[in-house]
Chains A and B, each alone.
Chain A
Amino acid sequence: MRRLLLRAVGAEEEVEEEEGWHQLYPSHIPTSPLQKALLAAGSAVMALYDPYRHDMVAVLGETTGCLALPNLRDKMKHHPEGYRILQERPCIRLSTLDMSRLRGLPDGSLGREYVRFLEDNKVSPDTRMPPKFVDDEELAYVIQRYREVHDLMHTLLGMPTNMLGEVVVKWFEAVQTGLPMCVLGAAFGPVRLSARKLQVLATELVPWAIRSGLNASCILNVYYEQRWEQPVESLREEIGIFPPPAVRM
């Protein structure tokens, strides 16, 4: 309590002396509960006001995930593959991916489809925001893993990166992870869609996403880096994702 008060009034040096600067990981910024509350509110407003502030979405996820993240971490701990991921802490980065090898894999395999997805949409796995406001080093890794796996979700669900595809993935993730940020995104995302797309969303895509989300095992419990050769369909079946409906996105 005293620490919090001292930090609140900026007596950083006293706090430092007491416990050593508790920066738990390189991008960590320790924050007080008041700051987290302000950040959560501010980032929610800003993300709605300026949809291009993806960093605000990330901050919202970090500051509101205090219940969902430990749940996710426990799910990972109690699963053999998830446990291995927590121990080994793999990162999906351009530096760790062997792009030429992945490109050489047969069509329909996870690796090939993932690279195709990255190239078609001109994106790279390196632009994920590192976690800043999570006050536990392991949970910070969990949320980072979630962000890295997000692109793979697009590949597995067969959803493009337009607004509609994003909303669908968010629905799936909301059911899977329970992160408040996903729930909010799923709820507010459709606001900017056209009527036709809303109809497709409501009648076909969202029910499918929810069913798949409920049926599938935890998506963070899959060691994707060791399954590049596996065909996408086979992986879908294994996880429990139903085949995507054939709609024009």
Chain B
Amino acid sequence: MAAVRLCRCRCRALLSRVPGAPRALRGLAAGPEVHFGFQSVTEEDRREKIFRLFFSPPRGDRPQRGNTTQRLLRHERFEVNCVSFSCPYFFCSLPVYQVFESVAKKYDVMNDSMTLGIHRVWKDILVHKMNPSPGTLLLDVAGGTGDIAFRFINYVRAVRERQLQRKLKHHQNLSWQEIFENYQEDKSDSLGDSQVVVCDINREMLKVGKQKAQHLGYSKGLSWVLGNAEELPFDDDMFDVYTIAFGIRNVTRIDLALEEAYRVLKPGGRFLCLEFSHVSNPLLSRLYDLYSFQVIPVLGEVIAGDWKSYQYLVESIRRFPPQEELKAMIEDAGFFKVDYENLNFGIVAIHSGFKL
């Protein structure tokens, strides 16, 4: 128990350092006014609000009860609101203790229901565009639940398989023994030295990602690191590819995140960003707005018990810079050959740039 408490203290120290540190390092003040959805807040407030969005349980408007139980269950290492409420249908007073899941656990379910599963296709397209070869070192920022990382591993494995098959085809007169040995040594190298580092600012998201990895059977080639996109805990010139899928929208200082991306990429490295963007077609834009503002918060309330987070989500999509503006920002960070590809008429866009 003491060890857990110590670990928690350290983690908290790390976490509390993370949002504060960029400010101290770069001499930022509590900050100019920035947007939080359609509200106007200081930078400091925005970071904290977004932080809390992912950390605090949904249905957080409800007052908490059962403080003792809450303390007891703290070692579970995620926020636990113990609520005794009634026999399920009638919110009466049966002492049914329930752990409120954080946004992290519902994240994947919400993604599927909001986009009707299309987000999977978008992520597939991103990895296909990346076209990684075995031996690639990928940094996936804000990739908490591991969607891009798992796709990367699958892709690299498939490429490796094909490579091995091609190699074996060229050997004509192998004995069965030699073929068997070939397969044995190559099996242990199914990834061909490829590695993914999944970095996220939110411990809960990483936790869910790790559980998913275990559940799906991914063991090798994955690392999970807690870190802030505006100040990455990595050295310069480390990675071949940097991806950020649906994460850059939540970063308060996008320019800092882009600078960090430039820093940690090797020369020749590629930056890829998958994010909601702007629909130019007027009719489609109206329909998209209608769906976003009418349906998505309702889905958030019904599925995750959290209207406000998903209201924030759709507002933040509207506030995010459009394709050309983001392209300019990426160029400002030092990337070359910056380009973007619209998916679904601009609902989503993939921006790509190279560090030369």
Contact = CB atoms under 8 A, between A and B. Distances in A.
Given A39-B298, A122-B84, A9 B293 contact: yes
Given A39-B301, A42-B299, A166-B89, A130 B61 contact: yes
A132 B59 CA distance: 12
Given A35-B297, A54-B86, A9 B95 contact: no
Nearest to B98: A52
B180 interface: no
B87 interface: yes
A65 to B, nearest CB: 15
A189 interface: yes
B179 interface: no
Interface in A34-78: 34-35, 38-39, 42-43, 45-47, 50-59
A52 B83 CA distance: 11
B301 A51 contact: no
A114 to B, nearest CB: 11
A29 B98 CA distance: 25
Interface string B304-332: 01011000001100100000000000000
A7 B307 contact: no
Nearest to B38: A12
B290 A9 contact: yes
Contacts of B61: 27, 129-130, 132
Contact of B302 (A7, A51, A56): A56
Contacts of B83: 127
B91 interface: yes
A170 interface: yes
B289 A46 contact: no
Contacts of B174: none
A9 B289 contact: yes
A45 B293 CA distance: 21
B125 interface: no
B88 A51 contact: yes
Nearest to B81: A127
A237 interface: no
Nearest to A122: B95
B292 interface: yes
Contacts of B302: 39, 42-43, 45-46, 56, 59
Given A39-B301, A127-B65, A10 B85 contact: no
A54 B65 contact: no
B301 A151 contact: no
Given A9-B286, A10-B289, A10-B314, A129 B298 contact: no
Contact of B84 (A43, A123, A132): A123
A124 B297 CA distance: 30
B229 to A, nearest CB: 27
B89 A47 contact: yes
B307 A132 contact: yes
Contact of A162 (B94, B295, B297): B94
A32 interface: yes
Contacts of B303: 46
A34 B95 CA distance: 35
A154 interface: yes
Contact of B94 (A55, A129, A161, A188): A161
A161 B292 contact: no
Interface string A136-156: 000000000001001100100
B294 A8 contact: yes
Contacts of B292: 10
Contacts of B301: 39, 42-43, 59
A35 B298 CA distance: 7
A127 B84 contact: yes
Contacts of B92: 150-151, 154, 161, 165-166, 169
Contact of A188 (B89, B93, B297, B308): B89
A212 to B, nearest CB: 18
A185 B90 CA distance: 7
Interface string B69-93: 0000000000000011111111111
A204 B298 CA distance: 40
B293 A7 contact: yes
Nearest to B306: A55
Contact of A38 (B87, B294, B308): B294
A211 B318 CA distance: 56
B4 interface: no
B27 interface: no
Contacts of A42: 298-299, 301-302
Contact of B93 (A46, A55, A151): A151
A129 B299 contact: no
Interface string A161-175: 111011001100000
Interface centre among A10, A128, A130, A169 (most CB of B within 10 A): A10
Given A39-B302, A166-B86, A10 B318 contact: yes
Interface centre among B62, B89, B93, B305 (most CB of A within 10 A): B89
A53 B94 contact: no
A13 B319 CA distance: 13
A150 B62 CA distance: 17
A129 B293 contact: no
5 contacts: A59-B302, A121-B93, A123-B93, A124-B84, A129-B62
Which 3 A-B pairs give the minimum distances between C-beta atoms?
Answer: A51-B88, A54-B91, A42-B302
